[in-house]
Structure 1
Amino acid sequence: MDDLLHVDNAPLITDSSKSKHGAKSTWSNGLKKLFKSKDSASSVQLTDEHTEREVYPGVPKQSFPNNAISNAKYNPITFIPIILYEQFKFFFNLYFLLVALSQAIPALRIGYLSSYVVPLAFVLIVTMSKEALDDIQRRRRDTEANGEMYEVIGQTKLVPSRNLAVGDLVKLHKDKRIPADMILLQSSEASGESFIKTDQLDGETDWKLRIATPLTQNLSLDDLKNISITASAPEKSIHSFLGRLSYDNQTTGLTIDNTLWANTVLASGTAIGCIIYTGTDTRQAMNMTKSGVKTGLLELEINRVSKILCICVFVLSFGLVSIHGFGSKWYVDVMRFLILFSTIIPVSLRVNLDLAKSVYAYQIEHDHEIEDTIVRTSTIPEDLGRIEYLLSDKTGTLTQNDMELKKLHLGTVSYAGDTMDIVADYVKDIDGKNIIATNKRDLGTRVRDLISTLAICHNVTPTIEDGEITYQAASPDEIAIVKFTEQVGLSLFKRDRHKITLAHEGSHENLSYDILQVFPFNSDTKRMGIVIRDLKKDELWFLEKGADTVMTKIVQSNDWLEEETSNMAREGLRTLVIGRKKLTTKLYETFKEKYEEASSSMVNRDAEMQKVLLQYLEHDLELLGLTGVEDKLQKNVKSSIELLRNAGIKIWMLTGDKVETARCVSVSARLISRGQYVHTVTKMTKVEGAMNSLEYLRVNNNSCLLIDGESLGLYLRHYRKEFFDIVVQLPCVIACRCTPQQKADVAVLIREITHKRVCCIGDGGNDVSMIQCADVGVGIVGKEGKQASLAADFSITQFCHLTTLLLWHGRNSYKRSAKLGQFVIHRGLLISVAQAVFSITSAYEPIALITGFLMVGYATCYTMMPVFALVFDYDVNKEVCFVFPELYHELTSGKSLSYVTFFVWCAVSLFQGSVIQLFAQAFTSINEVDFTKMVALSFSGLVLNELAMVGIEIHTWSKILIFSEVATLLLYVGSVPFLSEYFDLPFMSTLKFYWQLAVILSVSVVPIWLSKVVYKKIYPPNYAKVQGY
């Protein structure tokens, strides 16, 4: 929960010192640095960066990075050079550039220069326009943030954010963005407390409490300038900070509680802070390293196919020259043929696929059945249709993260359901006045002690919004417990840094306690503690709650805790162990002295503080009881998991929860099927014999594996490949007590070992690393915040939306792009085959068949719209996809775009291109007199053949598809009168032209259509079998 990781959420600040392409040093990185945006923040390569720094408020230092924000990738000078480099670093774009440049050489010139320049220019203009619009929006955000005005103590005018420097004292107002990393010196609240919103930093939606140090809270503005702050070197961690503050021979330690990080928002009152880090030194900037660009599997497959086409171009060019014979300038002929056949590698392929991805993203975000879905990575929608492994978190993903305390256990008795009324009755008599004293503490006293401890031991803060009390806390578990104590008669009335007040319903009085120390929960300690003074009884108490795995060693020995923890876990409840310890004044004062000494350390501070805590407080606690909190399943989780399983997806649940809790949730969510054997591997500590524990699964691979984090860690360290070779075959794996790193490791290893597509889904900060390591990361906007959502490729609001995302949008995206890619290749091959036939019948001379506007128009005006409109086609409707999820499974093998389908399309292109050109030449001739007649027949045949092929490939006609076909046909017919330079227009107005064209189309299209119909009848695809459903 607290072990949040880096979140890439379209930041206001980025680290401009890091190369976009990683650490690899190349001349291109040097070029980029040379053309770096002129408004970018200062370089972070400073001698002070990796050392502690002394900051004196009111004395600005300019030796640190300036505070200007720059997310712009380009500036007006560098835009064109960098964008050209980014495009031409790809072989195919560079290939087309060389082809275009070759036309400047007279010996290689074929047709018009525009025939080769315009298609390439079109691709570049589309890309440059998109990049320019994106960069303009980034610059607008940067300008707005840099120009935000702030009140600096000692300045007569407001200062823009970009001019703030380390050492500036800044006065902040409510709802104002914090412009740099600061230390909170004063708050408008007398207690020194301020609340901040951190959702733009870590994604968490709850307010965070920040505290001004007592040394500075009441100082005058002049005295604030006499303090000194020692801050540790800039680092990434947003949850830790080491520092010291000195004033008038007094020194106090600074922690995360005293900080205001850049890009958070002040949520209450006003505050004064001193800037300690600016620009690229801030936590926000250091956590915004660009994540690697994800490349979809389909794109890799298209690239492999394109390489085959490239080889074909060279083979065909050399083949034709060798057949004709090698003359004195044979290499010129080879170059001319390479240029003529350059259309085999379609320049528009990448543009078509990129535009298709934008369409898919739009369709996903505007699907009313999965409202509020956000596409954050638009480059991989096709991968949604190729998922074979789904790795899921439990809490907040499969469950609602809507906690409710369901059960209490006190060793000899438990309370749940209707018996909670008994607890309320005990709580009403808070002083136990109606209880007869006995030697052994009576049950009522024990219940009251437990409820009082639950009502005090937490980090929940009540806030009033619109006249209503709401609770702010990092953990929904804590809010659930506080709401429970309120229901039984002991409610949280008020809390600040020094005091907590409870309202007792039975006596209508307030119970106040001084807060002396708070030890917050974190994922390492797995517990939370507090030292309080009971003002009514003048007693000191140390209260603590935490996970059973750590609390068992801290509380006094007992004979029931382990058993009852397992019982609650089997019921699917999240458990917390509650304990307390009465302190003497002398013990507390000794602890306080040692703890403050440890908290001032600048080396291993956390470890030293924890050591003191263990030595003085965390031992021999009185065990008060055990709580069980229920986390309900999300809506339609059972049916969603069943659908995904039937779609052939293997589902793993990776959770930090206990083994029994995970088992119970897995059964209720139907991760574990009825009657399915669950093979359990836990507490595996010895390497010897570890693999023997998995032998059963090697034979019975229809079983489910339940493994804990300790055992998983052992296999990851010693038997990584052997372990995954076995478990990846299983339909379900449940891993419990997992760390965030283990989750990420599992995702990476499944990808590496199986080479299959892995999807990871989660909702919390501890899921971010797993999500970022997946082929497709899906984040759920959860009650713990938006960390996972902001880091993910796709953001959804409920787990059940994943079925629509994968089975409908994923399936369609992959099938559409596969067909679109093959059609674009078919279009290029068609005209190249026609050119090859013409060259062969022209004595192997490299003479162009299609030139000028016809070459440009063929791939744009006359065929692009119908071909691209295929992205709106679908073979079955949405309902059928959910009724027959097996349709999804067949996609994982990649049959929609494989070497088989590629060579089939090549054969079709070879047949149709040859038929069109040979018949065109047979009906006319290739001599100069009939050349324009032949071109008219050939080109018209190529265009209309492509329209017909699109028509016979469409499964579901829609208005867009009909319009694209009709509009393109009308456009071609309408443009013919303006193409007299290329066509014999009188010939095209005769009946002879039309019957000849009809014959050509009949021979080129009808056999393909008939073979398609016959094959579909003999070997009907799965979608055809269910179309009538």
Structure 2
Amino acid sequence: VSEFNPLTFTSIIECEKPNNDLSRFRGCIIHDNGKKAGLYKENLLLRGCTLRNTEAVVGIVIYAGHETKALLNNSGPRYKRSQLERQMNCDVLWCVLLLICMSLFSAIGHGLWVQRYQEKKSLFDVPESDGTSLSPVPAAVYSFLTMIIVLQVLIPISLYVSIEIVKVCQVYFINQDIELYDEETDSQLQCRALNITEDLGQIQYIFSDKTGTLTENKMVFRRCTVSGIEYSHDANAQRLARYQEADSEEEEVVPKGGSLPLRGGAGGHQTQSSRAHWRTGSRAEARRVSMLTELTAFSSPMEKDVTPDPKLLEKVHECGRCLASARHQEHPLDHLSPELSDVFDFFIALTICNTVVVTSPDQPRQKVRVRFELKSPVKTIEDFLRRFTPSRLTLGGSSVGSASVAAKSAPKAGLLSTLANDDTLLRLEERLGAGAPHLASNGYSSAADGWTAEHSATGPEPRPELRYEAESPDEAALVHAARAYSCALVGRLHDQVSVELPHLGRLTFELLHTLGFDSIRKRMSVVIRHPLTDEINVYTKGADSVVMDLLLPCSTDDARGRHQMKIRSETQNYLNLYAVEGLRTLCIAKRVLSKEEYACWLQSHLEAESALDNREELLFQSAIRLETNLHLLGATGIEDRLQDGVPETIAKLRQAGLQIWVLTGDKQETAINIAHACKLLDHDEEVITLNAESQEACEALLDQCLRYVQSCSPQRTAGSLSVGFAPLCPPSEATASGPSLVIDGRSLAYALQKNLEDKFLFLAKQCRSVLCCRSTPLQKSMVVKLVRSKLKAMTLAIGDGANDVSMIQVADVGVGISGQEGMQAVMASDFAVPKFRYLKRLLIVHGHWCYSRLANMVLYFFYKNTMFVGLLFWFQFYCGFSASAMIDQWYLIFFNLLFSSLPQLVTGVLDKDVPADVLLAQPQLYRSGQNMEEYRPRTFWLNMADAAFQSLVCFFIPYLAYYDSDTDIFTWGTPITAIALFTFLLHLGIETKTWTWLNWTACGFSVVLFFTVALIYNASCATCYPPSNPYWTMQALMGDPVFYCICLLAPVAALLPRLFFKALQGTLFPTPLQLGRQLAKRSPGKFRAPGETSAQGHIPGEARTEPPGQRSFSAARSVSQDCSSRVSPGARQPACSPEAGGEPSAVDVGVLQREGTLPDGLGSQPSRSSSPGPVAVEGCPGGSRMKPVSASRPAHLPSVFSVPGLSSLNWMSSLSLVSGLGSVLQFSRSGLPMDKRDGDFLPGSAPPDRDLCGLSGQTTDCF
């Protein structure tokens, strides 16, 4: 083979203009003879990528410098504005309007003053150069412009700078949180967006992917069905159970913060590396070790060591024996029965229908030279005809070290196939002690008539150590499963795949084409030439929802057709069973192409590959033409376990008032089962399953479901209200909120149409949770965009794969997980977390803190600027509105810049209104951010009114103190400046919830700096502002007792109304946050953040029975023949009945009466809960009320406040200035006011927490 010579390369490359689309590339090479060869994304090497399993490449640069896709994508995360920032911008406009009004008022006042005192203007006005004075109108205009300059402090320009500084510090502290570090993966949270940290505290909807986000994305082969026969793999299930038990034991032994070992694989090596790092302190060394172990993807013992099913293993060996007996026949596969033929093709498909690359860890890489015609896939018809000669293909062709691996793995009496090249042909005589192997024309070579016994006389030799590197864990799981049945993938080149089979030795399949998986087709296919039959076969694997529709139609007239229909029916039943058990299902199918069919398809496929315009659509249509009339081989069930802490995280987030929607591409039954496992769906709640085959049916189902939900709403809330204050969270969320909605991808496509999206959104809003199955990436983004735009709600999207990128980018906050599907989601996200469970602390703790800090800081800025401007404005009434200032110009400049800037920054960075352990223990406190309780229009205007009042007090107290005296303007203005500073600092002290030494230092520094600057400035300014000057002003004031009196009296008088209002509000109507702070001080050790508990590693698949007495809906009349919907009512709370006998309750009667209104299929879904919990009897008019009591109920915050002696005024202990007021006013309440959100009241209070009943009362907390 001649080497490539760039000097003789004269072909022309045509390609698209530079763009940032990493998933697409269109181009072609035009040779001298006019032929075109298509170029696509597989031919493009991107800047920054790393080549693996490749000897060498020959390429030409097409994009360079800033035109490369990497740099075009390096624009950083898109700019997002937080909701708080948008609200702040509106309030800034109000400040601008207020500034214009104040300046206009002053201008009018100055004009009237000039007009009234025309005869005295010479005493006040400075005449022009010609001796004339301004008339009232020009004077008013000049006064208006001057007042805008003087009062421009009202517009908080410095607020934007301060916010950016605070956000940077907040991001730093979030990144440094050790609780957000995952030792297993040696990764931590990353803040990729600096401007939306406060949005983390206002999230209302969470949209989550399932695979890799809620689950581990570690696929383990669980069971399969072949030719309609199911193989349960019970021994493999027991093996997985032992892994789960071992993980649970390790998690119980390892303390929090210690090293939690992974279930194996690369992650396990990383854990060891992390441990080594902590022991030796050498992170570089640990990183080098982890890099060596990360070369293997998806290869943990749990995934690799599949235990085969004995029955299926026997059939695999029977296939080998049958083929061995027919070794002299021309077509050995024809002697297999249909069932054994399906078994053989099933494992061939598992082995080669993928893009798995094989490597050997203990063998050096060997350079392999092959003939030119074997180097590239089929590109032309002539190439196809030339290569479609059986003698052209011989056994061999492997990837990294495959020859040596095969040599090590082959039995002594076995066969080792090699490439048909004299340079690389291995001397088998040296290994076998026999003649040169005979290369048969039917595609396999043999020693001893071409066949190999699986076991030698001395017993089986151990299998070689092979590493499989897969694009997805599903592919790796299937390849490991096939290898467990001795069908091992031992080598792969770009045009050959080598497989080791029992009794056959090593076969090499010529790989003609690979049609990769995409989210639209939901399948992948390979086109190969079979070495035993010389046929062109197509192996396809994909989602059952698409593969089952592509099967060859069967006729019921003959026995074979009826048998195939029976196999399909049984396979579908097993697929449903797998989905109920929470397994990921894939269908395996096959098609045999004739030479004419393949040549016809190849012609159109080559045209599609070489097309520059509309190439993707042409290739899609080409794949559709190939993947038809398939023959079903079987199906697989793969288990994907939940991540640790997912159920607990979802429970906490729901208690925090967050609605969680799961958008997944999995089968509906699989998604429902996993939703139950992760506590997204409760077994005793209503589940509405919406499946429609047409848009009309979808509309009818939406109308029926809406009527049903609306009719159930009064009954669901009946009896849930209680007299007094309601708790922060309901005792039973299932009865406090609506049902859950499950919708498939086809129905979702109809529901997202313009005429149905409002109905779908209204129905989904009434539901407790939403589960969208079989959804595409486009549908995910459309759902997020619909909720964000229509409901005006704060949305968060979290995912780990490339199919989640669009959803992450559309949401207000995008969170990516660096999982096993690449870094696309992380690169498109605003925040990156190692695992889903870290979302709990990120939102509930850091999100709440960031929102609370910034909201209070923004309000404080508006207050401070308004109060300071008010001092200047009130002075205008005493200077003829001449835009004069009684405060020195240097004080005006430095007041916001130096004197009062540092304390507010420290508070904005470090303040914690509620400790982290209380926030995690009482996640319902997060709702304050959702409801914008800290910063809303009402609080803004109250804050502005308070600032105006304080400015009046701080102005007139010094005015009255120096009234009718000979004090000059500097002696009067300096005390006002000092009073304003003291008032600001005391006001900030009242609003600060957590005091640290930095807070004290910042406040003291501001006071010391002001007096230092004033003393130096007044001592050095002897000739400033002639004829008057501020010389020795501060020195004189510090010797005047009046100065100290007004500096103490004015701030206290100004802040007294605010202090009184807070005391009254906290006494009569305490907020949850105030009670949370009180609880943290009363019992600091009671609410430590619990350790991360292990999630249910195995998704339960046992059949669940309906509990006794459970009523369910019966099937109703049909709305459409092609639509179905189901509702599971779950356990309902019986209403009051007049008798205690067996008469149906009011709720039961209502359910029975509504059965006729439900659409076809809107019937019962068997409840998966166990027996109902104990029942408590509550008094009600006319009889008794039976109310289910939860077996285990979390501690609720309001239960603490029913403890005698725990006064609601104790929240005041968080204020250092009023720490003793709690002992004066002892208004004790039994709970909290009702928390109203979205029009729904939360139900009655929970019983007292037994852990807190021993709290001692009648004490006062001091700071």
- The TM-score range, normalised by the shorter chain, is 0.7 to 0.9
1:417 alignment partner, one of 234, 242, 263: 234
The alpha-carbon deviation at position 804 of structure 1 amounts to 1.1
Task: Give the SS at the match of 1:910.
Answer: helix
Q: How far is the alpha carbon of 1:535 from its aligned partner?
A: 3.1
Q: What does 1:412-811 correspond to in 2, within 5 Å?
A: 412-418=229-235, 420-422=308-310, 423-427=312-316, 431-433=320-322, 441=337, 446-464=342-360, 469-504=466-501, 509-535=505-531, 538=534, 540-556=536-552, 557=554, 558=565, 559-584=569-594, 587-589=597-599, 591-593=601-603, 595-609=605-619, 611=621, 615=625, 617-687=626-696, 689-695=700-706, 696-700=708-712, 702-717=738-753, 718-811=755-848
| Contact 1:574–1:628 (Cα < 8 Å) also in 2 | yes
Q: Distance in 2 between matches of 1:684 and 1:614?
A: 22
What is the aligned partner in structure 1 of residue 123 from structure 2? Answer: none
Distance 1:602 1:386, change over 3 A: closer
Are the aligned partners of 1:495 and 1:501 in contact in 2 as well (CA < 8 Å)? Answer: yes
User: CA–CA distance in 2 between the matches of 1:698 and 1:619?
Assistant: 46
What is the SS of the residue equivalent to 1:706? strand
Matched to 1:744, the amino acid is: S
Aligned residue for 1:1001?
1051
Report the alpha carbon displacement of residue 639 of structure 1 after superposing the two structures with TM: 0.8
Deviates more, 1:482-491 or 1:543-552: 482-491
The change in CA–CA distance for 1:597 and 1:990 in structure 2 (over 3 A counts) is closer
The question of whether the paired residues in 1 share the 8 Å contact of 2:27 and 2:612 is answered with yes
Contact 1:926 1:934 in 2 (8 A): no
Match status 1:229 vs 2:229:
no
1:522-564 deviation per Cα after TM superposition (whole angstroms, max 9, x unaligned): 2222222223334356554322211112211333443223322
Gaps of 5+ in 1: 1-216
Q: By how many angstroms is 1:405 displaced?
A: 1.3
**Closer, same or farther in 2 for the Cα pair 1:995/1:269, shift >3 Å?**
same
Report the Cα distance in structure 2 between the residues aligned to 1:412 and 1:301, rounded to whole angstroms.
63
SS in 1 for 2:88: helix
Instruction: Within 5 Å, give how 1:833-852 maps onto structure 2.
Output: 833-852=870-889
Quick one: which amino acid aligns to residue 815 of structure 1?
Answer: S
Provide the residue aligned with 2:1074 in structure 1: 1024
How far the C-alpha of 1:887 sits from its partner, in A, is 0.6
The question of whether the paired residues in 2 share the 8 Å contact of 1:512 and 1:536 is answered with no
Mapping of residues 171-320 of structure 1, within 5 Å: 218-221=2-5, 224-232=8-16, 236=21, 238-247=23-32, 251-267=36-52, 268-278=54-64, 282-284=68-70, 292-320=78-106
Letter in 2 for 1:909: A
Residue deviations 1:356-408, cap 9 Å, x none? Answer: 11112112111111122111111111111111111111111111111111110
Q: RMSD of the TM alignment (CA)?
A: 2.8
Residue 679 (structure 1) shift: 0.8
CA distance in 2, matches of 1:609, 1:833: 71
TM-score (norm 1): 0.74
Determine the structure 2 residue equivalent to 1:75. none
User: Identity across aligned pairs (percent)?
Assistant: 27
Distance 1:302 1:628, change over 3 A: same
SS in 1 for 2:780: helix
Structure 2 distance, partners of 1:788, 1:705, is 27
Call closer, same or farther: CA 1:529–1:904 in 2, change over 3 Å.
Answer: same
Name whichever of 731-740 and 588-597 sits farther off: 588-597
Deviation larger for 955-964 or 988-997: 988-997
* Per-residue CA distance 1:792-829 (angstroms, 9 max, x = gap): 11111111111111111111111111111111111111
Q: Extract unaligned runs of 5+ from structure 2.
A: 115-135, 182-187, 237-307, 327-333, 364-464, 555-564, 714-737, 1022-1029, 1081-1263
Cα-to-partner distance string for 1:641-669 (whole Å, 9 max, x where unaligned): 11111111111111122211111111111
- Cα 1:903–1:707 change in 2 (3 A) is same
2:709 alignment partner AA: L
The 1:990–1:807 alpha-carbon spacing in structure 2 relative to 1, beyond 3 Å, is same
C-alpha distance 252-313 of structure 1, shift in aligned 2 (>3 A): closer
Q: In the TM superposition, what is the alpha-carbon distance from 1:927 to its structure 2 partner?
A: 7.1
Q: Which amino acid aligns with 2:970?
A: T
Matched, 1:936 2:946: no
Structure 2: how far apart are the matches of 1:434 and 1:723?
57
CA distance in 2, matches of 1:813, 1:417: 51
Map 1:843-992 to 2 at 5 A. Answer: 843-871=880-908, 872-925=910-963, 929-980=967-1018, 981=1021, 982=1030, 983-992=1033-1042
Q: Which amino acid aligns with 1:903?
A: W
Cα offsets for 1:815-849 (capped at 9, x unmatched): 11111111111111122121122222334442112
Match of 2:205 among 384, 389, 393: 389
The AA in structure 1 aligned to 2:875 is F
* Alignment partner of 1:367 out of 173, 177, 202: 177
Hey, which of these two has a bigger chunk of strand by percent?
1
- Partners of 1:340 and 1:596 in 2: how far apart? 75
**What TM-score, normalized to structure 2?**
0.61
- Secondary structure, in 3 states, of the residue corresponding to 2:775? coil
**Aligned with 1:398 (options 195, 214, 239):** 214
What SS does the aligned partner of 2:700 have? coil
How big is the shift at 1:621?
A: 3.0
CA positional deviation for 1:442: 7.5
Contact preservation (8 Å) 1:232, 1:243: no
Maintained 8 Å contact 2:206/2:660: yes
Q: 1-side partners of 2:105 and 2:620: how far apart?
A: 77
Distance verdict in 2 for CA 1:848–1:992, change over 3 Å: closer
TM-aligned CA deviation for residue 425 of structure 1: 4.9
**Distance of aligned partners of 1:841 and 1:495 in 2 relative to their CA distance in 1, 3 Å threshold:** same
**For 1:561 and 1:694, how far apart are their aligned partners in 2?**
32
How many angstroms apart in 1 are the aligned matches of 2:953 and 2:78?
Answer: 47
Distance 1:265 1:605, change over 3 A: same
Give the Cα–Cα distance (whole angstroms) in 2 for the partners of residues 693 and 240 of structure 1: 47
Paired residues for 1:809-824 under 5 Å = 809-824=846-861
Q: Is the 8 A contact 2:320 2:503 kept in 1?
A: no
CA distance in 2, matches of 1:301, 1:543: 57
Report the Cα offset of residue 568 of structure 1.
1.3
1:863 Cα deviation from its structure 2 partner:
1.0
- Partner Cα separation in structure 2 for residue 446 and residue 822 of structure 1: 72
Q: Is the 8 A contact 1:389 1:651 kept in 2?
A: yes
Distance 2:595 2:517 in 1: 25
Contact 1:389 1:759 in 2 (8 A): yes
> 1:380 — aligned with what?
196
Q: CA deviation at 1:727?
A: 1.9
Contact 2:315–2:340 (Cα < 8 Å) also in 1? yes
Does 515-524 or 642-651 show the bigger shift? 515-524
- Quote the Cα distance in structure 1 between the aligned partners of 2:76 and 2:853: 30
**Does 1:347 find its partner at 2:383?**
no
CA apart distance, 1:317: 2.6
Alignment of 1:9-158 (within 5 A): none
What's 1:336 paired with? 146
Q: Does the CA contact (< 8 Å) of 2:347 and 2:482 recur in 1?
A: yes
